[in-house]
A and B are shown apart, each in its own frame.
Chain A
Amino acid sequence: MIHLAGVNKVYPTHSGPVHVLRNVDLTVKSGERIGILGRNGAGKSTLIRLVSGAELPTSGLIERDMSVSWPLAFGGAFQGSLTGLDNLRFICRIYGVEAEDKIPFVKEFSELGIYLREPVKTYSSGMRARLAFAISMVIEFDCFLIDEIIAVGDARFHEKCNHELFVKRGDRAMIIVSHNARYIREHCSRAAVLARGELHLAQSLDEAFSFYERETALAA
């Protein structure tokens, strides 16, 4: 279970403090897939970073009693001068997983072939994203955090990613943040809307979507 209670996040800016998240409460049970809708700048990525533990809240409580992934679909943390393989080994060392067993999977899945032994700075953005996704699938978690749609590569590769994540890991909990209602409908059993720093938990998917539409229309 992941439990957030009264979570606030305030960033200092040159124009004074900005209250990005206000009193956010959220509970995610094991195996549950929850979607969080929000427009650009609504605080979705901040929320997911707080849940992952990469960043700490200004106030409030965050409890996790299952293992939680880093925010997926994030292609960064690659050292450009290192090879794809070096980067894989680094992640494996951090999480205490034997890297050598994982190389065949990453090589096959990322479709990088010989480029796995080349510096990441020579990769195209598509190659980078494929490597990032493949490496994300190497470490197992009880709950995956997914930031925005994993729109990696072409439609066929996208399909492969969906299969790896939603079918093979169908028993895991997931928190998916997106501005795309269709993506959330496809993959989530529950949804919430993040607007003006507040998280609105909906009774049903439909309620969440209509709330989100109203919010979007209001802002437009």
Chain B
Amino acid sequence: MADPAAKNAVTPSLSVAWAIQRRVIWALILREILTRYGRHNIGFLWLFAEPMLFTLGVTAIWTAAKAVHGSNLPIVAFAITGYSSVLLWRNMPSRCVGAIAPNLGLLYHRNVRPFDIYVARLILEAAGAGMSFVFLVLFFHFIGLLDLPEDVLQVAAGWLMIAWFGMGLALFVGALSQFSETVEKLWHPTAYLLFPLSGAAFLVDALPLEAQRYVLLLPMVHGVEFLREGYFGSQVTAHYDIGYMAAWNTLLTLLGLAQTRKLSMTVVPE
């Protein structure tokens, strides 16, 4: 039989399965970029231009309002580290909620599974938020409004923890939303209400002790605090427990994978 046909054989070895997974996810990423941003004007640059505009807007508003955030940190530095973190964990679930319904037709191709559709979107969101963060830091550093991070590795680690949190949450909420429309309805207000509590707009240290206890129940607060400690070092007193956050992340990831698997077993292509 023709060689290309053999390549599409059905029970592939692990390495072949990995190769298929990679090319499917890559194809979905390219498709997503084209459908979301098109070929017009700056095209795929919107991927990070959009989060950059958000962060810039928030930075401008906070600066103008001389927002009280309970520290001596420059407001620009505060806004960029904070709002970039919010975009990171909040946009991933938002992109995964209801992601399968418009793509049901794709599932006619056996190798395209709901998991691949989610992963493609997660990679895009993480890349967009990450590039936006890096460019903004470099830009504000260049114009003299922002110092570079004291510990780049810790910033990267904090960023990865927040990204992991976002991915676990996205898989879980995304797959759940396929079973119940209520999840989609509830996600948006939840995400909106979590924003002011997420540690983006305050330092935990500036809160009353009682409030600290409650706010530190939220896993993403630990990631933001850890990232800020990496960025500002001795200028801040950070409160975090990375083990606690990792436990949350693991739990969300497992729940997300289980829910996605359940979805894969029952989903009916268009």
**Interface residue ranges, A against B (CB under 8 Å):** 11, 49, 52-56, 64-68, 70-71, 74, 76-79, 81-82, 86, 89-91, 93-97, 139-142
Answer yes or no: B65 CB below 8 A from chain A CBs: no
Taking a contact as CB atoms under 8 Å apart, the answer to whether B5 and A67 are in contact is: yes
Which stretch from B30-38, B164-172, B204-212 is at the chain A interface?
B30-38
A-B contact pairs, 26 of them (CB 8 A): A11-B268, A52-B108, A54-B107, A54-B110, A55-B107, A56-B266, A64-B11, A67-B1, A67-B5, A67-B8, A67-B9, A68-B10, A68-B110, A78-B105, A81-B34, A81-B38, A89-B30, A90-B27, A93-B26, A94-B109, A94-B111, A95-B7, A96-B19, A139-B4, A139-B8, A140-B5
Q: How far is the CB of A128 from chain B (nearest CB, A)?
A: 12
Q: Which of B5-22 contact A (CB under 8 A)?
A: 5-11, 19-20
How far apart are the CA atoms of A139 and B2 in the complex, in Å?
11
How far apart are the CA atoms of A49 and B106 in the complex, in Å?
13
Taking a contact as CB atoms under 8 Å apart, the answer to whether A77 and B108 are in contact is: yes
Answer yes or no: B123 CB below 8 A from chain A CBs: no
Answer yes or no: B265 CB below 8 A from chain A CBs: yes
Number of A-B contacts (CB under 8 A): 98
Answer yes or no: B23 CB below 8 A from chain A CBs: yes
Chain A residues near B10 (CB-CB < 8 A): 53, 64-68
- 13 more contacts with CB within 8 A, not counting A54-B108, A142-B5, are A54-B107, A55-B267, A66-B5, A71-B108, A77-B109, A79-B31, A82-B31, A90-B27, A90-B30, A93-B27, A94-B111, A95-B4, A139-B8
How far apart are the CA atoms of A140 and B108 in the complex, in Å?
16
Q: How far is the CB of B264 from chain A (nearest CB, A)?
A: 8
How far apart are the CA atoms of A82 and B36 in the complex, in Å?
10
**Interface residue ranges, B against A (CB under 8 Å):** 1-2, 4-11, 19-20, 23-24, 26-27, 30-31, 34-35, 38, 105-112, 264-270
Q: How far is the CB of B33 from chain A (nearest CB, A)?
A: 11
Chain B residues near A91 (CB-CB < 8 A): 109
Query: Contacts A64-B10, A76-B270, A77-B108 given: A56-B265 contact, CB under 8 Å?
Result: yes
Q: How far is the CB of A172 from chain B (nearest CB, A)?
A: 9
Closest to A64 in B: B10
Closest to B116 in A: A94
Q: Which of A53, A54, A82 lies in contact with B34, CB distance below 8 A?
A: A82
Q: How far is the CB of B217 from chain A (nearest CB, A)?
A: 37
Chain B residues near A142 (CB-CB < 8 A): 1, 5
Query: Contacts A56-B265, A66-B9, A90-B27 given: A97-B4 contact, CB under 8 Å?
Result: yes
Chain B residues near A95 (CB-CB < 8 A): 4, 7-8, 109, 111
- Report, nearest first, the 4 A-B pairs whose CB atoms are least far apart: A93-B27, A77-B105, A53-B110, A67-B8
Closest to B20 in A: A96
Chain A residues near B30 (CB-CB < 8 A): 89-90, 93
How far apart are the CA atoms of A49 and B270 in the complex, in Å?
11
